[in-house]
Amino acid sequence: MEKRSEFGKTARLAGVALAALFSPLAQTANVTVFVTGSVLAAPACVLNGNSTINVNFGNALQTTNIDGSNYTTPVPFTLSCTGNPSTLRLRFQGGVSSFASGVLATNITDLGIRLLKPNNSTLNLDEWFQFTYSATPPAIKAVPVKRPGATLPGGAFSSSATLLVEVL
């Protein structure tokens, strides 16, 4: 019997607690929140006709002549925007080489690809480059570089990056 009375006390206490939670005496305040704003549609831009950009250094690179200057090659891409945006920016994202920050890694450990701005200064990976929109996109270039003091093996190399363009 004693166990039943303890159970009964517990059940009654729980019932009182639940009744207090759902009691009509509880007060609630309501207020309406209005959220407003404007969504601006950015001009639509198409990068390279939605096709892959291929930078081909050819088949005549001499490993001993790769010095960060030789074999500079344009990154050929097109940019078509509607709405005539004035200012845009671009950046490349990809794997960073193990020997130089901001240089794109390749499948050959001691070989990387440095990207260059139109003035031939370095465009590091993940660095935004701002430019004015025109029918001709900025002349970005790529150049193979090697780890200082490294002896490169012969053979094919490859790398990949993502090019992002943003309207400001």
Angle at 82 between CA 78 and CA 88, to 5 degrees: 65
Which residues face 94 on adjacent strands? 161
Question: Which candidate, 86, 78, 75, places its Cα nearest to that of 46?
Answer: 78
- pLDDT tens for 24-68 read 555 767 777 878 777 766 557 899 999 999 999 998 899 999 999
Question: Mean pLDDT, to the nearest integer, of 62-88?
Answer: 93
**Phi, psi at residue 50, to the nearest 5°?**
60, 30
Distance CA 100, CA 148 (A): 10
**What pLDDT is attached to residue 66?**
96
Give the position of tokens 């943003």. 166
Name the band, by pLDDT with cuts 50, 70 and 90, for residue 134. confident
pTM of the model: 0.73
Structural element, H or E, at residue 7: helix 2-21
Amino acid at position 100, single letter: A
Q: What are phi and psi of 64, to 5 degrees?
A: -75, -15
CA distance 79 to 163: 11
Rounded to whole angstroms, the Cα distance separating 40 from 48 reads: 24
